[in-house]
Amino acid sequence: MPQRRNAIKRLRQDKKRRLHNLSLKAELKKAIKKFHSLLAAKNKEEAKAFFEKLTSQLDRAIFKKIIHQNRANRLKSRLSKRLAKLT
């Protein structure tokens, strides 16, 4: 355990940030799974609309440094390819 006040505060802040980041990552995973289910159901219009929301969500995750930029770009590329196959 840290002894200094600033180290104690830093530990508390890190724990809070970690939990927040985990919840944001979980939301991203749920959104990706929902997109896959829309593709499986072959809902073209809903999938297109949801893809727009998903890309903006990924961009916000990049900005907040939740996930790395290359990973988000890779996900967007793969998901757009699957959407193109459907249409």
pLDDT at residue 12, rounded to an integer: 97
> Could you state, in chain order, the average pLDDT of each consecutive group of 10 residues for the chain (87 residues)?
94 97 96 96 94 97 96 97 91
The reported pLDDT for the residue numbered 18 is 97
Q: What is the rounded distance in angstroms from the CA atom of residue 24 to the CA atom of residue 67?
A: 10
Task: For each of the domains in the chain, give its residue range(s) and CATH number, in order of start.
Answer: 5-86 (1.20.58.110)
For position 87, what pLDDT does the model report? 75
